[in-house]
């Protein structure tokens, strides 16, 4: 049995989670299919936005660079776009670590899906890069994609990366309505 001092040392060494958020979840923070209004307005859910600000300030909420995730958000939602512009520091550029992971990630996608996504005109495909960023940063992924072949949760799971949807993320960060 560990002494109190040893338990305290173990607690101190426990790393705080880093969260890598995908475009789908950023967009869903501001709109959800079927709704004509934000599902999480700041005046009703101030605790959510305060927790997000704290995660951003401490470097624990990250996403992929403006060329991929941010571009996808800009194309879909004005409020999400404004939020992303305000929080540019969460967006990380692709680096050598991520580049080194892409070939392994590619092997987990069906060849047909991979080819279709990379050959789509006018849009870069963020999903494999989000997974690579999560691997390199040892982060959990936040994505509202379903867990199915050729989707982020399915591929990330192969690399031992946990994917949370928004509700699971809210639970993980201790968000509670009172």
Residue 10 lies in a domain: no
Show the domain range for 69: 17-32+40-172
The answer, yes or no, to whether residue 6 has pLDDT greater than 70, is no
Between residues 78 and 87, which one has the greater pLDDT?
A: 87
Residue 12 lies in a domain: no
The mean pLDDT of the chain is: 88
Residue 178 lies in a domain: no
Confidence of residue 63 (pLDDT cuts 50, 70, 90): very high
Closest CA to 90 of 118, 130, 125, 124: 130
Confidence of residue 66 (pLDDT cuts 50, 70, 90): low
Give pLDDT tens digits for 106-138.
999 999 999 999 888 667 789 999 999 999 999
Instruction: Mean pLDDT check: name the lowest of 6-20, 53-67, 160-174.
Output: 6-20
**pTM (2 decimals)?**
0.87
The answer, yes or no, to whether residue 104 has pLDDT greater than 70, is yes
Instruction: Mean pLDDT check: name the lowest of 2-16, 51-65, 90-104.
Output: 2-16
Token pair listed for 39: 């599902």
Residue 177 lies in a domain: no
Residue 52 lies in a domain: yes
The answer, yes or no, to whether residue 13 has pLDDT greater than 50, is no
Residue 75's domain is classified under what CATH number?
3.40.50.1010
> Considering its fold, how many domains does the chain have in total?
1
Between residues 177 and 167, which one has the greater pLDDT?
A: 167
Q: CA dihedral defined by 29, 32, 36, 41, rounded to 10 degrees?
A: -30
Residue 98 lies in a domain: yes
């Amino acid at each position: 049995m560990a002494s109190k001092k040893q338990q305290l040392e173990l607690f101190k060494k426990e790393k705080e989670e880093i969260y890598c958020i995908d475009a789908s979840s950023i967009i869903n923070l501001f709109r959800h299919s079927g709704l004509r209004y934000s599902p999480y307005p700041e005046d009703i859910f101030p605790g959510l936005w305060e927790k997000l600000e704290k995660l951003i300030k401490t470097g624990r909420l990250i996403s992929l660079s403006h060329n991929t995730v941010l571009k996808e958000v800009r194309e879909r939602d004005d409020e999400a776009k404004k939020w992303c512009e305000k929080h540019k520091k969460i967006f990380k550029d692709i680096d050598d670590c991520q580049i080194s992971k892409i070939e392994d990630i590619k092997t987990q996608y069906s060849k047909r899906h991979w080819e279709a996504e990379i050959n789509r005109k006018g849009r870069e495909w963020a999903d494999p890069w989000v997974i690579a960023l999560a691997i390199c940063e040892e982060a959990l992924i936040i994505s509202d994609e379903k867990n199915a072949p050729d989707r982020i949760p399915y591929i990330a799971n192969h690399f031992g990366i946990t994917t949370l949807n928004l509700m699971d993320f809210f639970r993980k960060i201790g968000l509670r309505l009172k």
